Amino acid sequence: MAAAPVWSVDPRTGKQREQVAVEATAQEVDAAVRAAHEARGSLADRAVRAAFLRSAAEELQAAKDGLVETADAETALGPVRLTGELARTCYQLRAFADIVDEGAFLDVVINHPDDTATPPIPDLRRYKVPLGVVAVYSASNFPFAFSVAGGDTASALAAGCPVVVKAHPDHPALSEYVAKVLRRAAARHDIPDGVLGLVHGFEAGIELIKHPLVAAAGFTGSVRGGRALFDAAAARPVPIPFHGELGSLNPVVVTEAAAAERADAIGAGLAGSMTLGVGQFCVKPGLVLAPSGAAGDALLKSLTDAVSDTDAGVLLDHRMRDNFVAGVAERAQLPDVDSPVTPGAGGEHTVSAGFLTVPASRLAEEGEHDLLLEECFGPVTVVARYEDEAEVKAVLSRLPGNLTATVQLSEEEAAGQGQGAELLQELTPLAGRVLVNGWPTGVAVAPAQHHGGPYPATTSTSTSVGGTAIERWLRPVVYQSAPEALLPAELRDENSLGLPRRFNGRLER
Q: Show Cβ contacts of residue 252 under 8 Å, excluding neighbours closer than 6 positions.
A: 270, 285, 287, 288, 289, 405, 406, 407, 408, 440
Contact predicate 440/283, CB 8 Å: yes
- Pairwise CA distance, residues 161 & 90, whole Å: 19
Q: Give start and end residues of each alpha helix (H) in 42-114.
A: 46-62, 64-75, 79-102
- Pairwise CA distance, residues 441 & 36, whole Å: 35
Q: Give start and end residues of each alpha helix (H) in 317-399.
A: 318-332, 389-396
Q: How far are the Cα atoms of 108, 109, 115, 484 from residue 479, in angstroms, in the given order?
A: 11, 11, 18, 10
Name the residues annotated as catalytic.
245, 282
Q: Show Cβ contacts of residue 262 under 8 Å, excluding neighbours closer than 6 positions.
A: none
Helix axes 256-275, 294-308, angle to 10 degrees: 20
Contact predicate 405/396, CB 8 Å: no
Q: 140-169 in b/e burial notation, b at 16+ Cβ within 10 A? A: bbbbbbbbbbbbbbbbbbbbbbbbbbbbbb
**Among 29, 39, 35, which residue's Cα sits nearest to residue 210?**
29
- Pairwise CA distance, residues 139 & 451, whole Å: 15
Contact predicate 170/176, CB 8 Å: no
Contact predicate 439/406, CB 8 Å: yes
Using CB atoms within 10 A of its CB, is residue 333 exposed (0-12), middle (13-18) or buried (19+)?
exposed
Q: Which long-range contacts (CB under 8 A, 24 or more apart) does 483-491 make?
A: 487/125, 488/127, 490/103, 490/106, 490/108, 490/127, 491/108, 491/110, 491/125, 491/127
**Residues facing 220 on adjacent strands:** 245
- Pairwise CA distance, residues 101 & 93, whole Å: 13
**Residues facing 364 on adjacent strands:** none
